[in-house]
Structure 1
Amino acid sequence: MDDYDDFSFGLGDPMIDHSVRLVDINEQICCKLCNGYFIDATTITECLHTFCKSCLVKYLDDNNTCPTCNIVIHQSHPLNYVGFDRTMQDIVYKLVPNLQINETTREREFYESFGKQEPEDKLLDNDIDGNSDAPKEEGDNDYHRNDEQVKICLECNTNQLRPLRKKFIRISAQATVNHIKKFVAKKLHMDGCHQLDILCNEEILGKDHTLKFVCVTRWRTKQYPLMLHYRPRIDL
């Protein structure tokens, strides 16, 4: 983080001759757990405090409160009440020079140090356009095809609903569980997605969880596709 302390940026208005040092806003774009810039920024829905995803997931293995304000997130399932904050992550990547490129390089080197390739769902971008780090043209309407992709298998675990005719799909990692609910409801000709529960490892997933978050927290070391089950909603 020290490498960026003297970096400054303009406010973007040609009528305003003013710049802001990055160090002056570090408090708003740094994780309180690792003191580094947000990577995969994840926000707690209860209090809206944000942390790096890996930092927060590790912290919540032994805690159920926010690291900043100590509010109880949930007594037994705090991970169901946090979600990827794409807006915050985009802001950090735009403000901090080369952060995204450096993070991608470190991640690639991490996998190579174990003699492994990056997970298949991350390499899919290279298959699409030959360069996952290539900038998108402004106004390019790619319908999230250039997002990190996830392979999913959707299975029905009850006799109350019929199985899908095509249960394997590939979808953006930024899609949420609620998108999966809507997809299943439409295929089953249901009135609304509120009638469904989506589960992973027999645990009900929060509707605002991104699929990337589900992969990291519920499917860390398992083979893809990501196995998700659907069933009629059960009110507890």
Structure 2
Amino acid sequence: MERKIRLKSLNPHITCKICRGYLIDATTVTECLHTFCKSCLVKHLEEHNSCPTCEIVIHQSHPLQYISFDRTMQDIVYKLVPNLQQNETKRERDFYRRRGLPYPKANTDKMPEKDVYDFPMNTTTKDENTDCHRSDEQVNILLETNQTNHLKPMKRKFIRCSAQATVTHLKKFVAKKLFNNTDRYKEVEILCNEEILGKDHTLKFVCVTRWRFKETPLKLVYRPRQEF
């Protein structure tokens, strides 16, 4: 027997406790699992190191490393709230247009095609969906190693991949290319601006919090873990 549920009865579970609006780029604190809009949470953590809801200390010095994009929650919100995703996309486009800035999701970045590696996240077979997340917002990355460590440089140092790929995805990619063994990904660390990135950080999150207002591509460094 089907039973209709009013959207307002679900609002406490799908709204941000900071801005009181529906969750946009839902981001969860890994310590307590409370979820907020990404922009709201990042702004809060610029001056505080605790969860806005329960006030648990996330991390004394690097709280941004202990939050993670919650794709499942965001998909639920977009499915429950009519036209929310379309309206949010329109607002984003209007925001960049008013400021004379290129819309990042338009994927207009230019790099030499012969040096670009399309990094797939999809593991389905050829008979299934082979989109490989190319319909996602894309991120261009310059992946290089320090000259001071023994890891060899990439033959193709430019990578184009989904903005929803995580640092762990990237570490497994590096392990595959360097050691031909993805199980060795824990031996590799990925850094941005000399800061080690959290394993659950999405590349979109890294762009917003570590590479904001800088030109593409996003520059990352890989190093052997034992150095630390």
TM-score, normalised to structure 1, is 0.84
Runs of 4+ in 1 over 2 A off after TM superposition: none
Query: What residue in structure 2 maps to residue 59 of structure 1?
Result: 44
Query: What residue in structure 1 maps to residue 6 of structure 2?
Result: 21
Matched, 1:197 2:189: yes
**Quick one: distance in 1 between partners of 2:149 and 2:63?**
31
Query: What residue in structure 2 maps to residue 124 of structure 1?
Result: 107
2:31 to 29, 43, 46: 46
Percent of pairs identical after alignment?
67
Matched, 1:105 2:75: no
Matched, 1:147 2:136: yes
Query: What residue in structure 1 maps to residue 154 of structure 2?
Result: 164
Secondary structure of the 2:85 match is helix
- Aligned-CA RMSD value: 1.5
Shift in Å at residue 117 of structure 1? 2.3
* Cα-to-partner distance string for 1:197-219 (whole Å, 9 max, x where unaligned): 10001100001111111111111
5+ long unaligned stretches in structure 1: 1-14, 126-138
Matched, 1:75 2:65: no
Shift in Å at residue 112 of structure 1? 1.1
- The residue type paired with residue 109 of structure 1 is D
How many residues are aligned here?
206
Cα contact 1:45–1:81 (8 A) shared by 2:
yes
Secondary structure of the 1:20 match is coil
**Quick one: distance in 2 between partners of 1:159 and 1:234?**
11
**Quick one: distance in 2 between partners of 1:235 and 1:46?**
27
- The residue type paired with residue 64 of structure 1 is N
Secondary structure of the 1:31 match is coil
Query: What residue in structure 1 maps to residue 174 of structure 2?
Result: 184
* Cα-to-partner distance string for 1:124-153 (whole Å, 9 max, x where unaligned): 29xxxxxxxxxxxxx744121111110001
* Cα-to-partner distance string for 1:36-73 (whole Å, 9 max, x where unaligned): 00000000111000000000000000011000001111
Cα contact 2:25–2:74 (8 A) shared by 1:
yes
**Quick one: distance in 1 between partners of 2:42 and 2:84?**
21
- The residue type paired with residue 223 of structure 2 is R
Cα contact 2:149–2:224 (8 A) shared by 1:
no
**Quick one: distance in 1 between partners of 2:157 and 2:227?**
26
**Quick one: distance in 2 between partners of 1:115 and 1:152?**
24
- Most deviating of 58-67 and 158-167: 158-167
